[in-house]
Amino acid sequence: MCALGREITPEMRADVLARAGRRCECQSGNCRHHRKGGRCPRGLRGDQWKIYYRTTRGGLNMWNLEAWCLTCFENNFDPKAVGR
């Protein structure tokens, strides 16, 4: 189950990955391996990526879901923010 209480389906994961062009969508300044505001250059393969929610209030809407590499996800995910 996802952090927001509903399931992310395999179809949703495939759609997010396709929209991202199989490349990490992170543009966060919390990552040292890419420029702040610049998109992460890492490609995404297999299960070596996660869905990141742009906002906690946006739910499972496609505009709110981004494909991020594991490094970017670990640099930015705050488990305390889940459920706010």
- Residue 84 placed within a domain: no
Whether residue 83 has pLDDT greater than 50: no
Question: HSE (CB half, 13 Å, CA atoms) of 55?
Answer: 6
Q: Quote the domain boundaries for residue 15.
A: 10-79
- Residue 20 placed within a domain: yes
What percent of the chain shows pLDDT beyond 70? 87
- pTM (two decimals): 0.78
Q: What is the mean pLDDT of residues 3-15?
A: 81
pLDDT digits (tens, 9 = 90+) for 46-57: 999 999 988 888
Whole-number pLDDT of residue 80: 61
Measured over the CA atoms of residue 3, residue 62, residue 73 and residue 49, the dihedral's sign is: positive
pLDDT digits (tens, 9 = 90+) for 25-35: 999 888 888 87
- Residue 3 placed within a domain: no
- Residue 30 placed within a domain: yes
| Total structural domains within the chain | 1
Structural contact between residues 72 and 31, judged by C-beta atoms closer than 8 angstroms? yes
N- to C-terminal Cα distance for the chain?
17
